Amino acid sequence: MKELHYAFGIDIGGTNTKIGFFDHQGALLSYHHIPTDKSLTPEKFIERIAQESFTLVAPLGFSRGDKRIIGLGAGAPMANFFTGMVLEAPNLGWKNVPLKAHFEKYFSVPSVIENDANLAAVGEKRWGSGKDLSDFVLITLGTGVGAGLILNNSLFRGHDALGAEGGHVLIPHEKKRLCSCGGMNHLESFLSAQGIKQTIHELTGEEWKIEKLGQLYHEGNQRAKTIIHTIAHELASGLTSMAVLLGPQAFIIGGGVSKLGEPFNQVILEKLNEIVHFSLKGKIKIISATLSSDKGAIYGGAAHIFEEVKK
Ligand SMILES: [Zn+2]
């Protein structure tokens, strides 16, 4: 009988760090999250993640050095797959961190590192909505806006992993809004959690959570409809630029805002088909990520290391 293989998927975020343990078919066997402790040095924090990870899998009969654990894939802001480094991650307070080397030291397994949207795209390609697609863009709508590109069945990162930053495409808009990166009128200026919150406030004078927006839209509330149409149009503006350049089969929508689900996808599709180049009208799908709205990167981390060790 072929021996089963297992891997860790880890996602280091500005607030929390998520740890998942997966089998080779993408089943999440064990999950835990811890606060991202910025008071520790990066190396100490990785050591802590390793301790937590092996504590997590001990009840399943695994320990450090177990040959069935083939590796780990981890997401972190500004993580560079090619160099294994995080040169600078302001929201973690990290500079020049050899992240891949730290992981391999404390886990004693091979590792890959990526930004979280890239990982989420790899996960959807192997186990999720992108399984039967050769070309798609995964858009994560969370605290920020990220993009992961699968082109010709492979992850596309750009030279030195500096591309695929879909959150920072310019979108035309009558208003001016600053982006978290310091630029003006980027997709993220409008579609980040903060951007959507601002739009809701401008249109209603109130604070609504995404769940409330979805519920009111479902009930036919006119103000909710206006908000959904506004943010769908802003998103479609960004997607239009990506579509004409890349010709994807689909945009897969992930992250917290993807909880709005199919009704939101329908409006995005309608807006996209209104403004996209005529050659692409009716040709691109808008679909929801299927792995998880908040665990996409850990699935992707595991998927990524399974792909790497196969090579
Ligand atoms: Zn930006």
- Ligand 1 centroid to residue 140 C-alpha, Å: 14
Q: What angle do CA 304, 310, 311 make, to 5 degrees?
A: 95
- Ligand 1 centroid to residue 153 C-alpha, Å: 27
User: Taking phi first (over 0 means left), then psi (-120 to 50 degrees means alpha), and beta for anything else, what does residue 61 get?
Assistant: left
Asked if residue 193 and residue 159 are part of one domain, the reply reads yes
Asked if residue 200 and residue 152 are part of one domain, the reply reads yes
Asked if residue 187 and residue 102 are part of one domain, the reply reads no
Q: Is residue 30 within 8 Å of residue 52, measured between CB atoms?
A: no
- Ligand 1 centroid to residue 163 C-alpha, Å: 13
pLDDT of residue 219 exceeding 50: yes
Phi and psi angles of residue 113, each rounded to the nearest 5 degrees, phi first: -125, 150
- Ligand 1 centroid to residue 138 C-alpha, Å: 18
Distance separating alpha carbons of residues 149 and 187, to the nearest angstrom: 16
Asked if residue 268 and residue 137 are part of one domain, the reply reads yes
| Residue 299 belongs to some domain of the structure | yes
- pLDDT at position 163, please? 85
pTM of the predicted model as reported, rounded to 2 decimal places: 0.91
Phi and psi angles of residue 68, each rounded to the nearest 5 degrees, phi first: -75, -20
Q: How confident is the model at residue 2 (pLDDT cuts 50, 70, 90)?
A: low
- Position 283: which residue type? K
Query: Mean of the per-residue pLDDT values for the chain?
Result: 94
Q: Which domain holds residue 102?
A: 6-119+295-310
- Ligand 1 centroid to residue 144 C-alpha, Å: 9
- Ligand 1 centroid to residue 300 C-alpha, Å: 24
Question: What Cα–Cα distance (Å) separates residue 208 from each residue in 15, 38, 164, 223?
Answer: 22, 30, 30, 11
Task: Give the CATH number for residue 251.
Answer: 3.30.420.40
Condensed to tens digits (0 to 9), the pLDDT of residues 12-65 reads 988 899 999 999 999 999 999 999 999 999 999 999 999 999 999 999 999 999
- Ligand 1 centroid to residue 177 C-alpha, Å: 10
| Residue 213 belongs to some domain of the structure | yes
- Position 85: which residue type? M
- Ligand 1 centroid to residue 260 C-alpha, Å: 24
| Residue 22 belongs to some domain of the structure | yes
Condensed to tens digits (0 to 9), the pLDDT of residues 78-120 reads 899 999 999 988 778 999 999 999 999 999 999 999 988 999 9
| Residue 234 belongs to some domain of the structure | yes
Locate 88 and state its tokens: 């600078």
- Ligand 1 centroid to residue 145 C-alpha, Å: 9
| Residue 1 belongs to some domain of the structure | no
Asked if residue 78 and residue 27 are part of one domain, the reply reads yes
Strand spans (E) along 110-163: 111-114, 136-141, 145-151, 154-156
Distance separating alpha carbons of residues 88 and 129, to the nearest angstrom: 32
Q: How confident is the model at residue 3 (pLDDT cuts 50, 70, 90)?
A: low
- Ligand 1 centroid to residue 78 C-alpha, Å: 14
Q: Is residue 71 within 8 Å of residue 9, measured between CB atoms?
A: no
3-state secondary structure of 235: helix
3-state secondary structure of 299: helix
- Ligand 1 centroid to residue 13 C-alpha, Å: 18
Distance separating alpha carbons of residues 153 and 54, to the nearest angstrom: 33
Asked if residue 279 and residue 183 are part of one domain, the reply reads yes
Asked if residue 216 and residue 86 are part of one domain, the reply reads no
Asked if residue 137 and residue 284 are part of one domain, the reply reads yes
| Residue 124 belongs to some domain of the structure | no
Count of structural domains, the chain: 2
Asked if residue 42 and residue 112 are part of one domain, the reply reads yes
- Ligand 1 centroid to residue 256 C-alpha, Å: 19
Asked if residue 301 and residue 284 are part of one domain, the reply reads no
| Residue 152 belongs to some domain of the structure | yes
Asked if residue 149 and residue 37 are part of one domain, the reply reads no
Q: Is residue 17 within 8 Å of residue 50, measured between CB atoms?
A: no
- Ligand 1 centroid to residue 141 C-alpha, Å: 14
| Residue 157 belongs to some domain of the structure | yes
Q: Who has greater pLDDT, 304 or 162?
A: 304
- Ligand 1 centroid to residue 234 C-alpha, Å: 14
Asked if residue 113 and residue 140 are part of one domain, the reply reads no
Phi and psi angles of residue 233, each rounded to the nearest 5 degrees, phi first: -65, -40
Q: Who has greater pLDDT, 135 or 165?
A: 135
- pLDDT at position 1, please? 39
